[in-house]
A and B are shown apart, each in its own frame.
Chain A
Amino acid sequence: MDFGRLARRKASQGDGMRSPIFVVLFSLAASAQSFDRAALERSVKQARAESPDVFSRVKAVVTQADELQRRARGRLFPFPARFRAVTRKQPGAAFALAEPLFAPERFSMPVSPAARLGLRAGLVEAAGSLREPSLAPLYRSLLGDDEPYEVVRAAAEALAKLGAEEDLAMLARLATAEGPQQDAAISGLGGARTGKLAVTALAALAATPLEAPRAKLVAGSLARVAPGWGDDVPWRGDAAQAAVTLFVKSTSDEARAAASDAVMTIDAPQTPALISAARANATAEQRAALEALSERFAHNPTRSHR
């Protein structure tokens, strides 16, 4: 599997209908039918009545999506960031963000494949940040095989942020089994704020031989699930242990660097002991690398330099 291809799909900016992405982008209506649309419609209607402004904000971004994508620098216009910004502290924002996902016919949807991809993933990712439990069925419906990586990843992350045990268990299964959603699930698990299950799954992956792109996804999710700048979560030590394991197991420079970055980000107090323990069964090369990791941790760059 070409993880990089999945993780960084960037539709060409002007290739229009020629891109294969175009085909999967029309799949939403079908996949969205698997949840209770009527219930969601009621929630949207109520939210719109209480807070119409946020709906017009979302609609404005949707309307401009083609132009935003056309003028954006790089792979995709940062729709997730933009949606988060315009819906911040707005009541009913989650439903405003959900509406274009299940009722695209009400919007002037973008034409370009890249804009459609970014828009949908952005709506899901931004809605996910709002942790609205009633949207969980919608997110689950977006985990299908026919969804592009970015959308599945955003849906997985949204579910991880909600933190229902059964969803985390499902994501853990997806993350640890070979399959089309595996990488999206790995990345999505990084959103888990009740992270024990997520860390367990990520730790299992970290202990196995991984190619660099997947190792980097695991490292990133370990870092996100227990960031040192966040709350003092009980699974921080486990996350650090998994990151150290990933560091030792990694054979490529980029994977090892990503694991090192995860160790720094997690910034667990147990880290020196974990590194020390890892030395016991390490090869000479690994011991040297662990020494460097230990030195780096002693001057952890995620702590302020002032």
Chain B
Amino acid sequence: MKRALWSVLLLTACGPATKFISAVLPVPLAPDVKLLADANRNGTLDWDDPTENTDKTTWDASHGAVMLANIDDDQHACVATRADGDLLPDTSLDDCNDAADTVINGKSDKLDLAPLAVHSWPYAPDGTTATLKVDTASLNKVHLFIERNGELVWFDTANDVISTEELRAGVNLAIEATDIVRDAAVWDGFVTVTLSAYGLTDAVKLRVAPVITQHHLAHEKQLYVTLFPQDADSAATRSTLTAGIDSAWGAGTAATLLTQINAYEDFGGYTYFDDQWTQDFFETAYMAMPTAQGLHVIDVFYRSANVYYPSTSANPLRDAGKVVFAHFRGPDAAAVQAFDIRHDQDMDSLNSFGNTETIPPYTLGNDSYPLGRVLRGKTATFYPDPVFTTMLESQGLQPPVYIDTSWLLVGHVDETLSFVKTSSPRGWALLVNDAALARQMLMDQVDAGHGDAVMFADQKWIDDNNHEYAAGITISDVLADTDVMTESNLSAAHVDSQLQIIKAATGLTEAEIIRVPYLHEPSYGYSLAYQPGTVNGLSLKEDAFAPPDPHGPLIDGKDLFKTQLEDALGAVGITVVWVEDWNLYHRLAGEVHCGTNSLREVGDARWWQSGR
């Protein structure tokens, strides 16, 4: 054996002739230039497992390693405020995260890295070194780390080498992406890492975890609502919402499950969170990577691309969106923003996340969408921020379905559509607004002699300055209102057009659609919910739905619209918990879903198995 080793060293001194060497030398002495990643996705590096150590540069549904964009803040090291207490400008808020530097930010941060390893080559000739390179497109998108003296330290691919001793002992490496995929045309998230030594190379291919938006069927980990202290209207909504959460999950649950974002939190004299549309200024999502301990998840909080101040380059975005950096970014929680300050202001409302929902998982023919599909309002001429849209589409996992919401005053998909869990084979049903049904229900009541029954009884239109006016109106008067009826007539057709697109995309049948009746009214040539839009609710647990109290007419002591929805949802096993939102939300063109948000559990589907 020693003789053989000396032969290698002599040959090495004359320069590498690796193919020749590997052909003539016994296996232990052959150059061993091997790089491994967790291609079989079991969280460990298995040198002897053919599912791990073959086809290392292919990446498909069954094979290929995964890494995370390590953009959380495991040590709460990122500071969102300035010395004067004000929050950092939008242009600086997203500068900080764990991948912004080249050090491992604590034990938790280490868990966010994907493992790589260089196999030990005990007989590596003296002076042999190795390099690690990443493909050109990924050059500034990843950091490599090498274990030295028991610590992971940054490996500068431009200058560093793996030493002979390290090669002989074998090397533990780790990799992080420094960002999510923003534009697949620029960087598609696939990274090839190449090990070179002794004239040999070996390579592995990894993919950065896409950011996956969450759908309504998953259990909620955290719910959110904006808190307006000392505001009776806010209290009314929050108390009924809290009761609903406790009803669904058990008494006292809301105390921990519901995060109340203080609208008046003071940042050096500024109250950025004074915005009750909690659904709109952030969207929850996640990235996931397999580990030996199971799935490792980083929650992602997208900040909305609403440009409220287009002439203010440092702080152009909707104020409340800063909350994703100020409060949500942290250990295993990342915050992301992307926007084009030049995007048409007339379309800005489409950037609110009431206009970004997720169709739950389904299969249609040969096409499977185990993570669902993004649902947004967007047409060729009326569309959300293209930069953000490109980022969403570039994740590649949840191909978007686009519907026309341009006829709505607010313009969000959550004004007319929602989803609830059912026990059907599909596992979910679509809730869809149906103005024709609302009209028919009211006409039936007129026929039954209840035309004088009052809708919106005890509700008011104005609550400031002691000016309050009864909102009550009889069924007959509603039906006689040509503005309401004409707008509702047209909205029935528009909603159906939305529905046709979703049906075509999902294969949804009529039996899987739950009609939710409410009328529309016009403003500025657009449409908005005349009655509280009861489709606009929050899914709780798997069997509860929290829509706004419709304040419908009482017929024989029962609210006509409550009864209808309770019956319709009860038929699929869903309990309705009513939330009071008239004053703070309905009167301002939104409802319960618009005023809440939810971070949900990651389901059983694994994105890397999706085939996308």
A: residues with CB less than 8 A from B are 3-5, 7-15, 18, 56-57, 60-61, 63-64, 67-68, 71-82, 84-86, 88-89, 118, 121-122, 125, 129, 150, 153-154, 157, 187, 190, 193, 211-213, 216-217, 220, 223-224, 227-230, 252-254, 257-258, 260-262, 264-265, 296, 301-306
Q: Which residues of A contact B500 (CB under 8 A)?
A: 296
Apart from A12-B348, A302-B492, what are 4 other A-B pairs with CB-CB below 8 Å?
A: A10-B346, A61-B462, A78-B409, A260-B497
A301 to B494, CA, bound (A): 9
Q: Which residues of B contact A212 (CB under 8 A)?
A: 379-381
For this complex, 19 residue pairs linking A to B, each with C-beta atoms less than 8 Å apart, are: A7-B525, A8-B346, A11-B345, A12-B308, A12-B345, A64-B462, A78-B528, A81-B528, A84-B483, A125-B523, A150-B524, A153-B524, A190-B525, A213-B381, A252-B380, A253-B380, A254-B406, A261-B494, A304-B437
Q: B349 contacts which of A10, A64, A302 (Cβ < 8 Å)?
A: A10
Shortest A19–chain B CB gap in Å is 9
Q: B409 contacts which of A9, A56, A74 (Cβ < 8 Å)?
A: A74
Question: Does A302 contact B404, Cβ atoms closer than 8 Å?
Answer: no
Shortest B241–chain A CB gap in Å is 17
Q: Which residues of B contact A257 (CB under 8 A)?
A: 404, 497
A75 to B515, CA, bound (A): 27
Q: Which residues of B contact A5 (CB under 8 A)?
A: 344, 346
Please tell me if B505 contacts chain A, counting CB pairs below 8 Å: no
Chain B 341-380 interface residues, beta-carbon cutoff 8 Å to A: 344-349, 352, 354, 379-380
Chain B 405-422 interface residues, beta-carbon cutoff 8 Å to A: 406-407, 409-412
Question: Does B309 contact A60, Cβ atoms closer than 8 Å?
Answer: no
Q: Which residues of A contact B462 (CB under 8 A)?
A: 57, 60-61, 64, 86
Q: Given A86-B462, A306-B437: A72 and B467 within 8 A (CB)?
A: no
Question: Does A264 contact B496, Cβ atoms closer than 8 Å?
Answer: yes
Using CB atoms, name the residue of chain B closest to A157. B525
Q: B410 contacts which of A15, A74, A86 (Cβ < 8 Å)?
A: A74
Using CB atoms, name the residue of chain B closest to A61. B462
Question: Does B489 contact A265, Cβ atoms closer than 8 Å?
Answer: yes
Question: Does A306 contact B440, Cβ atoms closer than 8 Å?
Answer: yes
Question: Does A301 contact B496, Cβ atoms closer than 8 Å?
Answer: yes
* A8, A71, A72, A84 pick with most chain B CB within 10 angstroms: A8
Q: Given A15-B311, A88-B473: A82 and B461 within 8 A (CB)?
A: yes
Question: Does A73 contact B277, Cβ atoms closer than 8 Å?
Answer: yes
1/0 per residue B468-489: CB within 8 Å of A? 0101010001000011011011
Q: B493 contacts which of A254, A264, A305 (Cβ < 8 Å)?
A: A264
Question: Does A261 contact B409, Cβ atoms closer than 8 Å?
Answer: no
Shortest B586–chain A CB gap in Å is 10
Question: Number of B residues contacting the other chain (C-beta, 8 Å)?
Answer: 72
Using CB atoms, name the residue of chain B closest to A183. B525
Q: Which residues of A contact B312 (CB under 8 A)?
A: 15
Q: Which residues of A contact B496 (CB under 8 A)?
A: 261, 264, 296, 301-302
A84 to B469, CA, bound (A): 12
Question: Does A153 contact B493, Cβ atoms closer than 8 Å?
Answer: no
A95 to B589, CA, bound (A): 26
Question: Does A77 contact B437, Cβ atoms closer than 8 Å?
Answer: no
Question: Does B524 contact A80, Cβ atoms closer than 8 Å?
Answer: yes
Shortest A272–chain B CB gap in Å is 17
B: residues with CB less than 8 A from A are 276-277, 280, 307-312, 319, 344-349, 352, 354, 379-382, 404, 406-407, 409-412, 434, 436-437, 439-440, 461-462, 464-465, 467, 469, 471, 473, 477, 482-483, 485-486, 488-490, 492-497, 499-500, 515, 521-526, 528, 530, 587-590, 594
Q: Which residues of B contact A73 (CB under 8 A)?
A: 277, 280, 349, 352, 354, 410, 588-590, 594
Q: Which residues of B contact A125 (CB under 8 A)?
A: 522-524
Shortest B535–chain A CB gap in Å is 15
Q: Which residues of B contact A228 (CB under 8 A)?
A: 489
Using CB atoms, name the residue of chain B closest to A69. B588
A101 to B494, CA, bound (A): 33
Q: Given A73-B594, A224-B490, A304-B437: A153 and B525 within 8 A (CB)?
A: yes
Q: B523 contacts which of A3, A122, A223, A262 (Cβ < 8 Å)?
A: A122
Q: A12 contacts which of B309, B524, B587 (Cβ < 8 Å)?
A: B309
A71 to B231, CA, bound (A): 14
Q: Which residues of A contact B594 (CB under 8 A)?
A: 73
Q: Which residues of A contact B277 (CB under 8 A)?
A: 73
Shortest A53–chain B CB gap in Å is 9
What is the number of contacts between chain A and chain B, taking CB atoms within 8 Å? Answer: 215
Question: Does A227 contact B380, Cβ atoms closer than 8 Å?
Answer: no
Q: A57 contacts which of B311, B349, B469, B483 (Cβ < 8 Å)?
A: B469
Q: Given A81-B522, A121-B524, A125-B524: A304 and B497 within 8 A (CB)?
A: no
Using CB atoms, name the residue of chain A closest to B591. A73
Q: Given A73-B277, A73-B590, A223-B493: A64 and B464 within 8 A (CB)?
A: yes
Q: Which residues of A contact B495 (CB under 8 A)?
A: 301
A76 to B588, CA, bound (A): 10
Question: Does B349 contact A75, Cβ atoms closer than 8 Å?
Answer: yes
Question: Does A230 contact B486, Cβ atoms closer than 8 Å?
Answer: yes
Shortest A257–chain B CB gap in Å is 5
Q: Which residues of B contact A86 (CB under 8 A)?
A: 461-462, 469
Q: Given A15-B309, A68-B588, A230-B482: A57 and B467 within 8 A (CB)?
A: yes
Q: Which residues of A contact B411 (CB under 8 A)?
A: 74-75
Q: A302 contacts which of B347, B380, B493 (Cβ < 8 Å)?
A: B493
Question: Does A71 contact B409, Cβ atoms closer than 8 Å?
Answer: no
Question: Does B404 contact A254, Cβ atoms closer than 8 Å?
Answer: yes
Shortest B503–chain A CB gap in Å is 12
Using CB atoms, name the residue of chain A closest to B443. A304
A63 to B466, CA, bound (A): 12
Q: Given A7-B525, A79-B523: A14 and B308 within 8 A (CB)?
A: yes
Question: Does B493 contact A301, Cβ atoms closer than 8 Å?
Answer: yes
Q: Which residues of B contact A122 (CB under 8 A)?
A: 523-524
A152 to B354, CA, bound (A): 30
Shortest B304–chain A CB gap in Å is 12
* B307, B523, B526 pick with most chain A CB within 10 angstroms: B523
Using CB atoms, name the residue of chain B closest to A257. B497
Q: A4 contacts which of B347, B440, B465 (Cβ < 8 Å)?
A: B347
* A11, A56, A80, A252 pick with most chain B CB within 10 angstroms: A80
Q: B307 contacts which of A12, A217, A306 (Cβ < 8 Å)?
A: A12
Question: Does A72 contact B588, Cβ atoms closer than 8 Å?
Answer: yes
Question: Does B489 contact A81, Cβ atoms closer than 8 Å?
Answer: no
A280 to B406, CA, bound (A): 32
A125 to B483, CA, bound (A): 11
**9 smallest beta-carbon distances between A and B, as pairs:** A74-B410, A301-B496, A304-B440, A60-B467, A261-B493, A8-B346, A78-B523, A73-B590, A264-B493
Question: Does B436 contact A304, Cβ atoms closer than 8 Å?
Answer: yes
Q: B488 contacts which of A10, A14, A229 (Cβ < 8 Å)?
A: A229
Q: Which residues of A contact B410 (CB under 8 A)?
A: 73-75
Question: Does A4 contact B381, Cβ atoms closer than 8 Å?
Answer: yes
A150 to B523, CA, bound (A): 10
A296 to B344, CA, bound (A): 34
Using CB atoms, name the residue of chain B closest to A223. B490
Shortest B210–chain A CB gap in Å is 28
Using CB atoms, name the residue of chain A closest to B318. A13
Question: Does A301 contact B492, Cβ atoms closer than 8 Å?
Answer: yes
Question: Does A129 contact B436, Cβ atoms closer than 8 Å?
Answer: no
* B354, B486, B499, B524 pick with most chain A CB within 10 angstroms: B524
Using CB atoms, name the residue of chain A closest to B483. A129
Shortest A237–chain B CB gap in Å is 17
Q: Which residues of A contact B521 (CB under 8 A)?
A: 78, 81, 84
Using CB atoms, name the residue of chain B closest to A292. B500
Using CB atoms, name the residue of chain B closest to A117. B524
Q: Which residues of B contact A60 (CB under 8 A)?
A: 462, 464-465, 467
Q: Given A74-B349, A230-B485, A265-B489: A304 and B381 within 8 A (CB)?
A: no
Q: Which residues of B contact A61 (CB under 8 A)?
A: 462
Q: Which residues of A contact B346 (CB under 8 A)?
A: 4-5, 7-10, 75
Q: Which residues of A contact B497 (CB under 8 A)?
A: 257, 260-261
